[in-house]
Structure 1
């Protein structure tokens, strides 16, 4: 009898889990993803609808901070540093708050994005940027609150907030030329020390061409900053490749250099590995 009761309880539990009622959200979630030049921008927000109500000055009071949507924070993120209305804004993720007024709007980028709507306690220190723009009147009413990225070019765009008969446009610029030049210079300069090290490590670990691996790790060593010691993990890899190629004398010399670096940096693991390898290769 007890077994039957347990089985029935499990069946009922499964029924209630599977029978959860699903209904549409009053303010459905939306996402905007856009690449502007070389900058990735993402906006996550919820879209309330007017439903015959007067929005600005009533549902959304003038002169008070607004969550700029519904439900959790409306957030906007930038993969690069940008300028909004000509003012600097560091790359990162922000809550997007606004202060609507009849003749102007404050647009606020707030560093704390973990609030449900407005923060319980507003902290002005968390305001990364505040800019003021002029609202415009639309010829046609917008039923659901909408955020778009429009007027896109390689270097700029406009963040648009529209609802009812009001649209607010926030111009921004992105550092496309700067990012492109960095990419060009890095590519034309050739692989970095880290790139050569990674390639050599892969070939060593997968039993690839060890002569190529040795050439690459030598390039990694030679490209290391001249004002700093060669990374001891670079030298450790070189010694392992040399040993695998049968050059135990060279491997010991390189391992001793790696050992010196490990001791200097206080890395006990590399210190032990190098000592063990030197002892093994010296037999």
Structure 2
């Protein structure tokens, strides 16, 4: 009896030891978050590698015309914190399972309301949104599946999928312009110099209302305590308004402030602007 108990104990210890073995995943998981405007976009997926295999073909990893999980292991997910437009179609805030169907000329990406479980549960469901985008052949191959955001602007980005020599890019637009303008109006009811600068920066970068951008920035630069990058923004706005003489004067002031602050970059930028406006 004692031998039986000892054998059972040793067997249990042996099993516990094996159960604790940890191995690296062949397709490691990753989660990335990206700010697009004021919206947070999050991708969660696992990254398979080709490991000498072809992406398509008779023995390829993927089959053209067949849906796949857009990754490995668990369901690939994409989450948006606010309303967005994906491929020109509206998509509400939330978490979505992301499946895709590759074709020779294009890929279709399918967005499903996410639920826990295997990715195959979505195959027979109706997607919340589908978007078809061109399939690009790249010169250089990507060994490991990569999903990321690029071409990130104030209100837009591209959700990019790359694997092997294949690349697709899905345009994502955030719908915050009116909300931002409303927020600017609200904040500027009692603004600080920082608020004025931020408002001027946004209006200038979006080319929304340059005269108003100039009014805001000059609320900052009229002070003797204005900083070199703030005065440079005034010069840039004046330049875009074709008020070149005033732009040159602001650029000269920027250069003086930047020299005093030891910032060679803005000294150079100011010189370049002055030279461009005096040619």
- TM-score after normalising by structure 2: 0.59
Deviation at 1:180, TM superposition (A): 2.2
Q: Is the 8 A contact 1:43 1:77 kept in 2?
A: yes
Task: Name the SS of the counterpart of 1:118 in structure 2.
Answer: helix
Match of 1:88 in 2: 90
Task: Name the SS of the counterpart of 1:180 in structure 2.
Answer: helix
The answer to whether 1:61 aligns with 2:72 is: no
Matches within 5 A, 1:111-150: 111-119=113-121, 122-124=124-126, 127-150=127-150
The answer to whether 1:36 aligns with 2:36 is: yes
Task: Name the SS of the counterpart of 2:180 in structure 1.
Answer: helix
CA distance in 1, matches of 2:101, 2:55: 14
CA distance in 1, matches of 2:32, 2:118: 20
Task: Name the SS of the counterpart of 2:178 in structure 1.
Answer: helix
**1:233-277, CA deviations, whole angstroms, 9 ceiling, x for partnerless residues?**
xxxxxxxxxxxxxxxxxxxxxxxxxxxxxxxxxxxxxxxxxxxxx
Task: Name the SS of the counterpart of 1:119 in structure 2.
Answer: helix
CA distance in 1, matches of 2:47, 2:179: 34
Q: Is the 8 A contact 1:154 1:176 kept in 2?
A: no
Q: Which stretches of structure 1, 4 residues or longer, exceed 6 Å deviation after superposition?
A: 5-12
CA distance in 1, matches of 2:9, 2:187: 61
**Cα 1:121–1:14 shift into 2, 3 Å:** same
Deviation at 1:71, TM superposition (A): 0.9
Deviation at 1:179, TM superposition (A): 3.6
Deviation at 1:156, TM superposition (A): 0.2
Gaps of 5+ in 2: 191-279
Cα root mean square deviation, aligned = 2.8
Between Structure 1 and Structure 2, whose CA radius of gyration is higher? Answer: 1
Task: Name the SS of the counterpart of 1:77 in structure 2.
Answer: strand
Task: Name the SS of the counterpart of 2:99 in structure 1.
Answer: strand
**Cα 1:189–1:26 shift into 2, 3 Å:** same
Match of 1:173 in 2: 173
CA distance in 1, matches of 2:56, 2:115: 24
CA distance in 2, matches of 1:80, 1:9: 56
Deviation at 1:176, TM superposition (A): 2.9
Q: Is the 8 A contact 1:30 1:44 kept in 2?
A: yes
The answer to whether 1:98 aligns with 2:85 is: no
- TM-score after normalising by structure 1: 0.59
Match of 2:26 in 1: 26
Deviation at 1:186, TM superposition (A): 6.1
Deviation at 1:86, TM superposition (A): 1.2
CA distance in 1, matches of 2:53, 2:46: 18
Matches within 5 A, 1:159-198: 159-184=159-184
CA distance in 2, matches of 1:121, 1:165: 26
CA distance in 2, matches of 1:176, 1:10: 63
Matches within 5 A, 1:148-163: 148-163=148-163
Gaps of 5+ in 1: 191-283
CA distance in 1, matches of 2:124, 2:52: 31
CA distance in 2, matches of 1:86, 1:153: 16
**Cα 1:121–1:37 shift into 2, 3 Å:** closer
**Cα 1:109–1:7 shift into 2, 3 Å:** same
**Cα 1:182–1:101 shift into 2, 3 Å:** same
